[in-house]
Structure 1
Amino acid sequence: MTQINRRRLFGLGAAGVAAVGAGALATQTLTEGTAPAAADATAAPVPFYGEHQAGIVTPAQDRLHFVSFDVVTKERAELIDMLQEWTAAAARMTQGKDAGTFGALGGSPEAPPDDTGEALGLPASGLTLTIGFGPSLFDDRFGLKSRRPAALADLPKFPGDDLRPEISGGDICVQACAHDPQVAVHAIRNLARIGFGKVSVRWSQLGFGRTSSTSRAQATPRNLMGFKDGTNNLKLEDAAMLRDQLWVAPSDGAAWMAGGSYLVTRKIRMNIETWDRAPLSEQEQIFGRNKGEGAPLGGHKEFDEPDFAARGAGGTPVIADDAHVRLAHPSTHGGARLLRRGYNYVDGSDGLGRLDAGLFFIAYQRDPRKQFVPIQRMLARSDSLNEYIKHISSGLFACPPGLRDAGDYWGRTLFT
């Protein structure tokens, strides 16, 4: 078993004490099935330690900085050493502290500071950092080939995919969510700094305006097409459903992943200008919901159960056979569900006066082969929304369980 050196253990321990104190002050325990307290959620820290990683069922924050790294070191020991340093820094930053022991202003003035400093004076802002390991990490470099879970099978090519390899995949991902974009960017910047020479950034994505609710305490947000998104999303209060659909069980075949979850990302560009010229009635038929309330067509309230058997004039379905809500509904996929926590993005324009904008889709699940893959296969084949969207990047990662205490580190269950 790899030992954590004294300096890093000190960093972890200090952050661990902070985490316990902050958790007590906020009276907020984001474990399975527990709703957040009514404290100032936009400033308060989220506990770093627990059975599951924070940033999955944590009530979705408003801002995202997602990054995918390629591992450039060839040494297993160096990779583990970096993961330990990352863990110490993450434990501190999620509690509103500097990334390193000496911070942005301490230490030797002749040496680079331990923290880049742009988050000085800012609160924790609900920062969560969630790590995942991509299929490419399980090659011959680090002796992990035999530890690749069967559920981490490469995603198939779906009809209509226009994936760009340079913004897809990666060995390791880190998802930073916070209520302040500067806090999220600061966290990723400092992890990249710590990892210099061992990892390099493959691609990254900024996101704003969460497009899903992960708690019943949150209102359903809207995507850039103006529709409420993720009405039927899994919620942190759904304890039994989370055990069945979200968390990997010891019986699933990869012991090191027990308590973890599998992450799928898809960058979905929207043809915004074309969509904006579509009639309201067409937009609502495509989604199968009305645009104002978000109710399924034929219903009255957002959370009304869709009636897929309902017929309108001439016997045509009220909710069309190719409507998004019908094709994505759990009843169409044997009850399979996803926990979505995606974000809107706008990456400027494409040089032709068109917005480069859309949805950065993020979904967690127990087994992508049984959840995301069949759902996306049907959507890619039949969804009428496909006329207005294009999938341009894709990622798949195994997110291990949470950290037990200050002596633990990201990836310990994989590498030991």
Structure 2
Amino acid sequence: MTYDQDPPRRRFLKAGVAAGAALGASNVAQAALARAPADPQRAVEPFFGEHQAGIVTPQQSHTYVAALDLVTDKRDDVIALLREWTDAAARMTRGETAKPLPADDKVAPDSADVLGLGTSGLTITFGFGPGLFTRDGKDRYGLGQRRPAALVDLPRFNGDQLIPQKTGGDLMIQACANDAQVAFHAVRQLARMGYGAVQMRWGQAGFLAGARDETPRNLMGFKDGTNNPPTADASKMKEFVWASVADAPWMQGGTYTVVRKVRITLEHWDQMELGFQEQVFGREKYSGAPLGKKREFDPVDLDSLDHDGNPLIPENSHVRLSNQASNKGAQILRRSYSYNDGTDFYIERWPPWRQETEYNAGLIFIAHQSDPRSGFIPINEKLAKFDLMNQFTTHVGSAVFACPPGVRQGSFIGAGLFGT
């Protein structure tokens, strides 16, 4: 991670070269710099590299994630779009306009709504949904045989109330930045470029709560992501996050991303006593420590008992059910955000069966893994059936994407899939 020294307006309008100088930075170095005190508006995350940014990059404070459906039937249109997106993403992460300024100034290359806001550590991550490969049994672009076995259609989980308009998608764009407008602007420009080839399926803004050097808290007030595998540990990332499969060599160094929109009945949750909330999570609310421990990163002890001989961490607590020890050693990298979409009418599916106007707020669950079949799917199947948290949460949106490896300069995102 580097920091741009140019004024924001000049940086936005001119062609920069900052990204090239940062290509050799390691993940460890980038993570350390991201935690250092600095102006987050000046942060620059390199777009080109071995892996896509926005996966192990330390979380920025805002995201805008969107899924789009392809409406063209031409393979060349898809390749052209991905080439254009690659160039635009590289430019915007450097703080430039999405397209070069025209000499005659007659065609606006960019909406210009982020002038003066700086780069804000912008990362743009792309993913390919199952619909890019086949739809309704049809091989749309001659890519059907290249679909990775790990890119499975997610099963229906117990309690799912998925809304079609918030589910699925052929292409994913995830923009993360330390400014909400910068993140939204990036998705907006890319969607605009795809006019005639793609159409928006769903989009969702999200935010983090908490200091940059601390584990963020979700809207339920608990720290979210404490037990993540360490992103600075290359061996852990290779084991749990980066794809390495024989049937899809073009995905080597990529990852599989699951996105779930989880609505939280905050009105119900807010009436619960603190002790009960901590039993639901299996952690202390304020310190983040596992029940029975003192500090957030103390190891979870699933064998400890209370004075009555019962498990100190309840059998149906979120921590126990999602823990690596309860899932045959499986881990996923959570990189989730909260969302707040105001209020609307809501029918609660759990007692007391309320029907009223409530907050439309919750969690954009985002998880990266080397294979959803051994990561998210078995973990969530257990959670969906037994997690005490289910009385407060409802999964209303869902999608899965194959996020290819990073891009080298002169190429485009997903080039290996298309054999170029």
Is the structural similarity TM-score above 0.5?
Answer: yes
Whether contact under 8 Å (1:287, 1:323) holds in the other structure is: yes
Change (3 A) 1:82 1:15: farther
Whether contact under 8 Å (1:209, 1:344) holds in the other structure is: yes
Change (3 A) 1:15 1:136: farther
Aligned residue number for residue 150 of structure 2: 151
Aligned residue number for residue 397 of structure 1: 401
Aligned residue number for residue 17 of structure 1: 17
Return the offset for 1:41: 5.8
Aligned residue number for residue 312 of structure 2: 318
Report the Cα distance in structure 2 between the residues aligned to 1:396 and 1:112, rounded to whole angstroms: 36
Return the offset for 1:50: 0.7
Q: Higher mean Cα deviation, 41-50 or 31-40? A: 31-40
Report the Cα distance in structure 1 between the residues aligned to 2:293 and 2:37, rounded to whole angstroms: 35
Report the Cα distance in structure 2 between the residues aligned to 1:93 and 1:64, rounded to whole angstroms: 15
Report the Cα distance in structure 2 between the residues aligned to 1:220 and 1:149, rounded to whole angstroms: 33
Q: Please state if 1:234 is matched with 2:229.
A: yes
Q: Which runs of 5+ in 1 are unaligned?
A: 1-13
Return the offset for 1:159: 0.5
Q: Please state if 1:292 is matched with 2:295.
A: no
Return the offset for 1:34: 5.5
Task: Tell me which amino acid in the other structure corresponds to 1:327.
Answer: L
Report the Cα distance in structure 1 between the residues aligned to 2:30 and 2:84, rounded to whole angstroms: 30
Report the Cα distance in structure 2 between the residues aligned to 1:239 and 1:374, rounded to whole angstroms: 24
1:320-399 → structure 2 map (5 Å cutoff):
320-351=314-345, 352-399=356-403
Report the Cα distance in structure 2 between the residues aligned to 1:394 and 1:401, rounded to whole angstroms: 22
* Cα offsets for 1:243-287 (capped at 9, x unmatched): 1111112x4421000010000000000010000001111101010
Report the Cα distance in structure 2 between the residues aligned to 1:29 and 1:182, rounded to whole angstroms: 27
* Cα offsets for 1:81-122 (capped at 9, x unmatched): 1111111110000011111111xxx4434x431111111122
Return the offset for 1:353: 3.2
Report the Cα distance in structure 2 between the residues aligned to 1:364 and 1:229, rounded to whole angstroms: 15
Return the offset for 1:36: 3.2
Return the offset for 1:31: 3.1
TM-score by length of 1: 0.90
Whether contact under 8 Å (1:30, 1:36) holds in the other structure is: no
Task: Tell me which amino acid in the other structure corresponds to 2:170.
Answer: D
| Helix, strand or coil at the partner of 1:65 | strand
1:9-408 → structure 2 map (5 Å cutoff):
17-21=17-21, 23=22, 29-31=25-27, 35-37=31-33, 38=36, 40=38, 42=40, 43-102=42-101, 106-109=102-105, 111-139=106-134, 140-209=139-208, 218-249=213-244, 251-351=245-345, 352-405=356-409, 407-408=410-411
Aligned residue number for residue 6 of structure 2: none
Whether contact under 8 Å (2:263, 2:362) holds in the other structure is: yes
Q: Please state if 1:413 is matched with 2:413.
A: no
Whether contact under 8 Å (1:207, 1:344) holds in the other structure is: yes
Whether contact under 8 Å (2:63, 2:205) holds in the other structure is: yes
Whether contact under 8 Å (1:33, 1:236) holds in the other structure is: no
Return the offset for 1:315: 1.1
Identity of matched residues, %:
49
* Cα offsets for 1:345-367 (capped at 9, x unmatched): 00010144310000000000000
| Helix, strand or coil at the partner of 1:293 | coil
| Helix, strand or coil at the partner of 1:315 | coil
Whether contact under 8 Å (2:64, 2:206) holds in the other structure is: yes
Report the Cα distance in structure 2 between the residues aligned to 1:33 and 1:138, rounded to whole angstroms: 37
Change (3 A) 1:53 1:143: same
Whether contact under 8 Å (1:286, 1:385) holds in the other structure is: yes
Report the Cα distance in structure 2 between the residues aligned to 1:155 and 1:177, rounded to whole angstroms: 25
Report the Cα distance in structure 1 between the residues aligned to 2:129 and 2:193, rounded to whole angstroms: 20
Report the Cα distance in structure 1 between the residues aligned to 2:381 and 2:168, rounded to whole angstroms: 19
Report the Cα distance in structure 2 between the residues aligned to 1:90 and 1:235, rounded to whole angstroms: 27
TM-score by length of 2: 0.89
Report the Cα distance in structure 1 between the residues aligned to 2:397 and 2:112, rounded to whole angstroms: 32
Return the offset for 1:404: 1.5
Task: Tell me which amino acid in the other structure corresponds to 1:323.
Answer: S
Task: Tell me which amino acid in the other structure corresponds to 1:52.
Answer: H
Give the CA RMSD over aligned residues.
1.8
Report the Cα distance in structure 2 between the residues aligned to 1:353 and 1:244, rounded to whole angstroms: 44
Return the offset for 1:16: 8.0
Change (3 A) 1:329 1:141: same
Change (3 A) 1:66 1:30: farther
